[in-house]
Amino acid sequence: MPPRPTIPAVAHYFVKPRHLLAITSICLLALSVAACSDSPNPEDGLSRDEIFDQIDQDNDGVALRSDYLMAVTLMDPTKVVASHPQGDLTVKAVLDSLEASPPSGLTDPANPSTRLFAARLTSMLRLRLAAVAIEGAGFAIEFEVDDEQLNSQVQAHLTGGFEDWAREQAFQADPRLEKFSTPHCVTLIAVATEAVANIARERLIAGEPASVVASQLNAPGITTAVNGDVGCADLLTWANTFGENAAPLGEMSVGDVSEVVSMPSEYSPTGRLWLVLFLRELQEDQKDPTALGPFAQQVLADLVTEYPVTVDPSVGTWDSTALSIAPAQ
C-alpha cells in the first residue's frame, strides 16, 4: 500500500494547445501488411484504404499521427496503457468500458478516437485513485471488481465514514474551522449614511449597549428586532447573508466592533446600507463542524494529486494537477 499523502494546496491547471501533424498518405508497416496496396488481398491483410479508414476516425480525409499511434496501440488488447498504485489498465479494459457505457460521439467501441480513449482512461484512473486514497485512510476497498462496483464502494465511503475522516483532517489542517463552525451571535447596526454609521461605531466602542444604539439609529425595516439582534449562526451562514462584509467576524472576539462596511440595499433611501457588526456572544457549546461540509470531495481531490500515475505516450501524458490525460499530439 502506498504511503498516505499529506493534503497539498490546490493548484491551478491549464490546457496546452493541441498541435496536430497531418499524415496525407500512410503505408502501415509491421501490421501484417506486406506492401502498400489499393486492393485488398486476403493473404496480405488489410488494404491501404482499409487501414486509412481505421485511422481517419473523424472521416475528414486526414489522418493524424496521434490517430496512427492509437491504431497501433489498439491492435494489442493486452498492452498496458496506464499504471496506478493498485495496478495497471490495459487496452482491453478501456475498450470493454467504452462498449459497456459508450459516450456521446462514439460510433465504433473497438476503434475509438484518441480523445475518447484518453477521456475514458482518465475517468477510470480517477476512480481508482479515489479508491486508493480511501483505502489509505483505513477504509476497506475491493479492487478486483468492475468499475460500477468500484464506484459504488467509493460513493458509499464518501457519504459515510470517509466524510467524518475528511472533516477531521480538514479541521486539523486549518484550526480556523473551529471558529467558523461556532455560532456567532450578532447585533447589527444598519443605517443609511456612512456618517451615522461612524457615530454608531464610536458609541459601541465607548461601551454603550449595542441594543440601545441599534434601537435609536437603525434604518426602519432592516431587522425584525428593533434592538438589532439578527440571531446566531456559523460564519458560512453569515457569509451567505452579508457576503464579504461578514469577513471581519472571523477575526472578532466577544465584545468586538467591526469596521464600517457597506452594501447595496433597497431598504435605504441612499441605495446603500452602512453596517457595523457587534459580536455579543460565541456559542461554543453549539459548535457544529458538519455545518461547513461536506469535506470528503475536497479532501479526496487534494489527496489523489500526489499518487504516481504513468500513461503510455501513444495515449497522452498524465497531468497530476488536473487529474487528466492530455491526449497525444
pLDDT score, position 78: 96
Could you report the per-residue pLDDT of 88-126, keeping only the tens digit for each?
999 999 999 999 999 988 888 888 888 899 999 999 999
Model confidence band, residue 60 (pLDDT cutoffs 50, 70, 90) = low
In Å, how far from its chain's centre is CA 66?
29
Average pLDDT, the chain: 82
List the CATH number of the domain containing 199.
Answer: 3.10.50.40
State the CB neighbour count (10 A cutoff) for residue 154. 22
Whole-number Å distance between alpha carbons of 175 and 68: 53
> Cα(61)–Cα(52) distance, rounded to whole angstroms?
9
Whether residues 160 and 89 share a domain: the answer is: yes
Looking at the fold, whether 258 and 305 belong to one and the same domain comes out as no
> In whole angstroms, what is the distance from residue 287 CA to residue 9 CA?
26
Q: Are residues 119 and 153 in the same domain?
A: yes
What mean pLDDT comes out for the span 211-233? 88
In sequence order, the 6+-apart residues with CB closer than 8 A to the CB of 217 are: 189, 191, 196, 199, 200
Same domain, 146 and 214: no
Residue 237: is its pLDDT beyond 90? yes
The long-range contacts involving 45-48, CB below 8 angstroms and separated by at least 24 positions, are none
Domain around 249:
182-286
Range with lowest mean pLDDT among 13-17, 107-111, 318-322: 13-17
Q: Would you say residue 72 lies in a domain? A: yes
Residue 106 has, within 13 A of its CA and on its CB side, a CA count of: 21
Q: Are residues 132 and 106 in the same domain?
A: yes
Domain membership of residue 109 (yes or no) is yes
- Does 153 lie in the same domain as 122? yes
Cβ proximity of 290 and 119 under 8 Å = no
The per-residue pLDDT for 110 is: 87
Q: Which three cell numbers stand for residue 57?
A: 476516425
- Inside any domain, residue 34: no
Query: What's the structural domain count of the chain?
Result: 2
Domain assignment present for residue 94? The answer is: yes
What is the mean pLDDT of the segment spanning 183-199? 95
* CA–CA separation, 214 and 198 (whole Å): 13
Q: Model confidence over 124-162: pLDDT tens digits?
A: 999 999 999 999 999 999 999 999 999 999 999 999 999
Judgement on whether residues 162 and 186 belong to the same structural domain of the protein: no
Do 66 and 154 belong to one domain?
A: yes
**Grid cell digits, residue 37:** 496496396
Q: Which residue has the higher pLDDT, 253 or 291?
A: 253
24 pLDDT band (50/70/90 cuts)?
Answer: very low
Does 236 lie in the same domain as 266?
A: yes
Is residue 12 a part of any domain in this protein? no
At 22, is the secondary structure helix, strand, or coil?
strand
Q: Are 67 and 145 in the same domain?
A: yes
The answer to the question of residue 1 being in a domain is no
| Residue 190 sits in the same domain as residue 159 | no
| Together in a domain, 240 and 322 | no
Q: Convert 179-220 into a string of H (helix), E (strand) and C (coil).
A: HHCCCEEEEEEEECCHHHHHHHHHHHHCCCCHHHHHHHHCCC
Q: Report if residue 10 sits inside a domain.
A: no
Model confidence over 239-288: pLDDT tens digits? Answer: 999 999 999 999 999 999 999 999 988 878 888 899 999 999 999 999 99
C-alpha cell, 195: 456618517
- Asked if residue 238 is part of any domain, the answer here is yes
